[in-house]
């Protein structure tokens, strides 16, 4: 393995914009839910019942900030949908989901001793 360049982690380095890190654990799941159609906040909460309203709001704001999700308001109804940039990330995310499914048992076995 070669030695990292000194400016490898400069704030303008492409790795600092790496979308897979997404700053929020629920962000990829929100994107996956929005793949089929735009959804309202309450519809997202029904499916993501383990997430608090505060955390869902945070995930949506992060996704909107990064250009993956857009927010549309019609009266009191707020709808979220994937942007073209967000849609372009679905393919790579599916590869990660498939890898996770293929290695599910290994991932669980690796985690168990550490958490015990």
- Whether the per-residue pLDDT at 39 is higher than 80: the answer is yes
Range of the domain at 93: 14-115
Q: Please tell me whether the overall predicted TM-score, pTM, comes out greater than 0.85 for this model.
A: no
On whether residue 76 sits in a domain, the answer given is: yes
Question: Is residue 58, in this structure, part of any structural domain at all?
Answer: yes
In a domain, 2, yes or no: no
Torsion from C-alpha of 104, 15, 86, 76, nearest 10 degrees: 100
Residues 6+ apart with CB under 8 A from 15: 8, 9
Q: Is residue 92 part of a domain?
A: yes
- pLDDT(18) > 80: no
Q: Give residue-wise pLDDT tens across range 1-11.
A: 555 555 555 66
pLDDT in tens, 70-115: 999 988 889 999 999 999 999 988 998 898 889 988 988 888 666 5
Tokens 């089929």 sit at which residue? 36
Considering only CA atoms, give the Rg of the chain: 17
pLDDT at 19 over 70: no
Angle CA 39–65–75, to nearest 5: 45
Helices (H) and strands (E) in the chain, counts: 5, 3
* β-strand partners of 36: none
Domain with residue 61: its CATH number is 1.10.10.10
């Amino acid at each position: 393995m070669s030695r990292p360049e000194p400016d490898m982690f400069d704030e303008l380095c492409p790795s600092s914009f790496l979308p897979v890190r997404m700053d929020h654990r629920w962000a990829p799941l929100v994107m996956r839910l929005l793949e089929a159609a735009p959804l309202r906040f309450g519809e997202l909460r029904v499916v993501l019942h383990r997430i608090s309203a505060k955390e869902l709001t945070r995930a949506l704001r992060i996704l909107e900030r990064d250009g993956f999700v857009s927010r549309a308001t019609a009266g009191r109804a707020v709808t979220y949908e994937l942007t073209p940039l967000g849609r372009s990330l679905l393919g790579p995310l599916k590869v990660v989901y498939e890898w996770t499914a293929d290695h599910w048992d290994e991932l669980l076995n690796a985690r168990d001793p550490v958490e015990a």
